[in-house]
Amino acid sequence: MAFTMTDETKKDILQKIARAKGTPVFVIDIAQIKKNYLRFKENFPDVQVYYAVKANSHPLIVKTLFDLGASFDVASLPEFHLVRENIKDMLPSEQQEFIWEKVIYAHPVKMIKTLHELEPYKPLVTFDNFDELEKIKKHCPSAGLMLRIEVPNKGSVVDLSSKFGASKEDAVPLALKAFQMGFLVEGLSFHVGSQCMNIDNYKTGLNLAAFIFDEVEKRGYRIGNSMTGKRILDIGGGFPAEEYGPGIMPFEELAKELNAEMKRLFPDNIEFIAEPGRFIVANACTLVVTVIGRAFRHGITSYYIDDGIYGTFSGQVFDHQIYTLKAFKEGKKEKCIIFGPTCDGFDTVSPNTNDSKYPFGFLPRMEIGELLYAENMGAYTLASATNFNGFPIAKTICVNK
């Protein structure tokens, strides 16, 4: 069944899927995934895409990006093995080459048992502190290293700088220590924070990376691959989804400025990589739900739907995003509050508010059994859904494959 986010028959298609498969149903438009990937590549032609699997780990999304030539940012063993599924028919030597060249284990702090399991694969892993360096040396000595540095996350919806990244003062000593321990330090990485709306975070990261490359070299070591001469700079993720709301810098404008800064600061032997997740999947997924109950209290209509905060709308808690619920039918909109299906009062999808910035709190009069839908739900939604209270996670349907 053909389906795109811009198709005029979108509502009809979504309703047909919901009636055939039941709700809640999470619809992934594979064509939009491809479009987003190609848009990123077009605007960053010299940057290799390492898709951040944590954003949405549906196997067909991973397979689609694999077929397009993407690389992968993984942060857990299940994510690592999910990517490996796509290379299981390769020769062992080809599998090893793929893992080394196209997978980065980007979680800076790893469990000991994880390092033991990664060791045979000779992975490329990140680190950002001395204890982690000692742990890697003991439990995964064949790894190649990427040093993650701390950069400002000001203006990003999700701040990562308080948890990860070596300070400017620690970065050079960490790199020197890694070399002295016999490691190959392939490059540097940073992350500006998720849904970053401040381009200065990227520019600060680029300038800091250039400084650290130079400072380490002044002390007798060279970050990079000694055989190829290349050094990696991972500019991380954070590329914002423009569909979330106004005031977000257009992606093409952001890319133009960053490309100019990268060209100004670095020579041709730098291999740039990035870890987009949200940018690839956010606008490619739509959720359809059913109204399962209705009540009238204090002059406000309450609707109960079959998905909520503990399910696909978990992104409202963990990812700090607001998702707009829309009706398929037309009609005069009334102020309302929308609850998820669980017995917890916290399970409130839309707030009871007069604030017009929450348009999903206004719907035409809905009847029990009617359908609602929410767009732009591809990133950090289904990924953090649970079975709390026994309610199942939304079923997933892929279209336009």
Residues serving a catalytic function are 343
DSSP per residue over 142-165, as a string?
T-EEEEEB----TTEEE--TTTS-
Structure tokens at 152: 């400002």
Nearest to 325 by CA among 372, 378, 261: 372
Burial class, 364, CB count within 10 angstroms (exposed 0-12 / middle 13-18 / buried 19+):
middle
Structure tokens at 126: 């990140």
DSSP per residue over 164-200, as a string?
S-B-HHHHHHHHHHHHHTT--EEEEE----EEE--HH
Residue 339 C-alpha from the chain's centroid = 26
> Degrees (nearest 5) of the Cα angle 285, 287, 293?
170
Cα distance between residue 381 and residue 244, in whole Å: 14
- Kind plus residue range of the DSSP H or E element containing 313: none
User: Is the preceding omega at residue 24 within 30 degrees of 0, hence cis?
Assistant: yes
Nearest to 151 by CA among 168, 169, 135: 168
Residue 269 C-alpha from the chain's centroid = 28
Q: Which amino acid is at 175?
A: A
> Degrees (nearest 5) of the Cα angle 63, 307, 278?
40
3-class secondary structure, 361: helix
Q: Which amino acid is at 152?
A: P
Structure tokens at 7: 């198709």
Contact indicator for 285, 277 with CB cutoff of 8 Å: no
The conformational region for residue 144 under phi > 0 = left, psi -120 to 50 = alpha, else beta, is: beta
